[in-house]
Amino acid sequence: MRRARLGFTVLEVLVAMLVLGIGIVALIGSSALVSRMIGQGRRTTHAVQVAERRLELLRQQAVTTVPLCAGLAGGSASQPGGITEQWQVVPSGATTLLRVVVTYPSGRGWSVDTLATAIACV
């Protein structure tokens, strides 16, 4: 009996190592999650920037014709980074609604974001 109490049994050491291992794996896992979220944030920013650029381009096209907004039409385009954009132009009285839908790769599949605005056509 006295001899058994002096050290740790192999079982105790294994359990301790298992608990330590679980802790370390959890730590690395949360770190990997943060990395993925930073990457996702970067891709979302790039995709939203593509949509913003499209809105500014449409705003510019809207004022180059007489009457205003006459040359606007929907369409789609592919951008670097696997980003695709589709835009719709919906005339609505004195204003025109612009909607840009961007699809971009995210961790395991695809993410979709929509930017919409209304521009004056008078």
Contact residues: other proteins, CB under 8 A = 2-3, 6, 24, 27-28, 31, 34-35, 38, 41-42, 45-46, 49, 52-53, 56-57, 59-60, 63-66, 68
Q: Which is nearer to other proteins, 3 or 108 (CB)?
A: 3
Token pair 């008078």 in the structure block, residue: 122
User: How far apart are the C-alpha atoms of 38 and 33, rounded to whole Å?
Assistant: 9
Beta-carbon contacts of 95 under 8 Å, excluding residues fewer than 6 positions away, are 118, 119, 120, 121
Provide the H-helix boundaries in the chain. 10-62
Q: Which is nearer to other proteins, 46 or 99 (CB)?
A: 46
Tell me the Cα Rg of the chain: 28
**Least CB distance from residue 45 to other proteins, whole Å?**
6
**Least CB distance from residue 6 to other proteins, whole Å?**
7
**Least CB distance from residue 114 to other proteins, whole Å?**
19
**Least CB distance from residue 109 to other proteins, whole Å?**
22
Q: How far is CA 49 from the centre of its chain?
A: 11
